[in-house]
Structures are given as structure tokens and as C-alpha cells.
Amino acid sequence: MKILIVANETERNTFITNLVSSIQNLADVYTGISHFWSDENSFDIIHIHWPEHLSYKVNRKSFPPYLGRLKKIKTRLDFLKKQGSKIVYTRHNVQSNENEKGFKQLYDLINTNASGIIHMAKYSLDEYKIHYPKKNVEHTIIPHGWYNNIPNIIDKKSARNFLNIDKNTFVILAFGAIRNIKEENFIIKAFKQLNHKDKLLIIPRGYYNNEILLYRFLDFIKFPLYKYITKKKSKRLSTNKIQWNQEFTAIDKIQYYFNAADIILIPRLNILNSGNVPMAFYFKKPVIGPNKGNVGYILNETNNLVFNTDDITTLTTKFEDGITYSKSSKGQENYEYAKTNWNWETIGKNHLEFYNKLLL
């Protein structure tokens, strides 16, 4: 079997690297966006993960496809299917995080041309069938694998010493990029309402107009004004016991943040999946997340904490509950759950079984 994973392997998110490693001993696996457009190789399986990667990109940012680009993608999909390839799509998001019309059309194009859809939990499967009730397609549920390849060799004390955090502080970590100001304001307001003397909210990659091209350009050229305004915001928030920054966390530094934390917050108001859930489980941490999408489904199923995205007070309440959870065995329970259900050996075998089913 010859498989193309239509995604690039990156150090920012090792999901694709882990997936490839889990199936490469069982099949002939290629990765990369360029292979999708090339006629040098033919594939039994064309496995798409993020449709926006087929659009135009500048640095890491994708831009919505115009009509001509959509037609080109459709023509390519038709050609690949005529060649005998089966199109598989893993549903990471309901729609692109960029809510433009072109992206919605692109997502519809991939959904309607796929022979098989992989969902990461039951919520996604049920939601898909509402949007595409007449679509005849094979479905399967394969969860997001855990991040057991992330370095994890330091203890809580060492992590807190590195980040200059007192041992008695209750630490909430909101890891990953905050996507918009509404998300950031929601979690900050809920945190401010938490009546706990020794508390700290860590936001390693906060929001500061980071999707505006001008600010991206200023950041790229290291223009002092951008650094000044982000530092000013960081200083202001520090008075409210919030450690705010806007930097990407290198893979070898992730362990410091997670091991220093008492509980992990998924800072989303609209979401389908989050890799930070299996990341938190791997680091033996309880999780607070929105009661939305697969995230809410999984956190409810595993007896973690969920909040109502329409009510800030529910998040404050979950922060309070998190103090108790952080002193319980919940983190260890999460680790054992991930080790059993989200290990890459099982996930790789499940992918191969689904590919084979489509090729029968």
C-alpha cells in the first residue's frame, strides 16, 4: 500500500511525525503538500489533514483560496480519484480557524470528495452527519494520539525554579496560541474572579492582533515597536498574576510549562479538537476545557472539568474545582487513559485497517 499524508512534518506540532512513524513499518508512506500536485508518484491513499494547506501560504499563514484555486483543487481531486486513489480526510476542525468564505468552500470540497472520514471522537461523527446527511462515505473514529515523544525529564520543583514560580502557587496553564481577543478576555476575566491568594495564570502565546499582516511583518523583522507594545501588555497583566507572552514554545521547553502547572486550561470558545488535551494527559495533568466539540465529549467521558462558553462564572467555578483536582489522582488517571487509548501503535494499526477497508 502506498500512502500520501498531505501535510508537512514540523517541529511545531509533531502529530504528523508521530502518525507517519506509526504506519511507516506497515506501508510505504510519503508526506508533503507538493506530492499532492505531482504526477511523479501514484498513491492508493491520499490522506488530507488540514484543507487550508492546499491554499496559498505565506510563511505559516494560509490565505483563503479564490475561485480559480478551488477549481484547480477540484480538478486535481477528480484526477486522483480517476487514477484509483481513495481520498481520506481527518477532521481536525469543523471549519478553518480563518472564517473566510473561501475556506468554507474548500472544506466543503474536501468533505464532499472524501471516500473516508476519520473523526477523533463521536461528537465529530454525529455533527458531520447533520451537515452532510446524504453523503455516502465511510466513517471511523480514531482518537488524537498522545505526545509521548515530547521531552519530560524534569520534576515540578525544577520546572517552577526555571520559571521563577513559588512552590505554593496554584498554576493554571493556557497553552497554545490564543486565537482572538474574545477568548483571551474570557479566560482572563474568569481568572480574575478566582478568589485564591496564591494563583498564577500562564499564557505563553497570548493574543495581540497576531493575525493582522502588519503585526506579523513587524514581528518578522523584529521591529522594536512590536516588541515594545507586547512587553507593555505583559507588564500590565502581570499585576493581575498573569504571566503573558507571545512567543512560540520550543519543543524542549514545553516540559517546563506543563510540569510547573497544576491544571491545564483549553482556552477555546469554539472548538472541535485540541492536541493540548492528549498533551496534558501525557504530562499527568487534570484538564479544564469548553463543553464543546470532541474536547467537551472527551473531558466529560474522562471525568475532567468542562465550562459553559456562554457563562464566565462557570469557568471560575471550574478553576476552584481544579484546586481540588490538582491534589487528587486525576492526573495519573489521565496518563493511564492516554497510554491505553491514545498510544501510537494502536492508532497506526487503526489507520491501516481503515485504509484497507476503503481499498476493498
Rg of the chain over all Cα atoms, to the nearest angstrom = 21
- Output the pLDDT for position 210: 57
| pLDDT at residue 135 in the model | 80
Residues of the chain with pLDDT under 50: none
Beta bridge partners of 57: 62
What is residue 212's predicted lDDT score, i.e. its pLDDT? Answer: 61
What element of type H or E holds 3? strand 2-6
| Torsions phi, psi for 171 (to 5 deg) | -110, 125
> What value, to the nearest 5°, has the Cα angle with vertex 239 and ends 169 and 319?
45
Q: Is 340 helix (H, G, I), strand (E, B) or coil?
A: helix
Q: How far apart, in whole angstroms, are the C-alpha atoms of residue 322 and residue 264?
A: 9
Amino acid at 339: K
What is the structure's pLDDT at 57?
75
Q: pLDDT at position 95, please?
A: 85
**Would the CA dihedral through 139, 3, 35, 86 be positive or negative?**
negative
Q: What is the pLDDT of residue 62?
A: 81
Indicate yes or no: pTM above 0.95: no
- Residue 159's closest CA among 69, 249, 53, 289? 249
Among candidate residues 89, 102, 103, the one with its CA nearest the CA of residue 45: 89
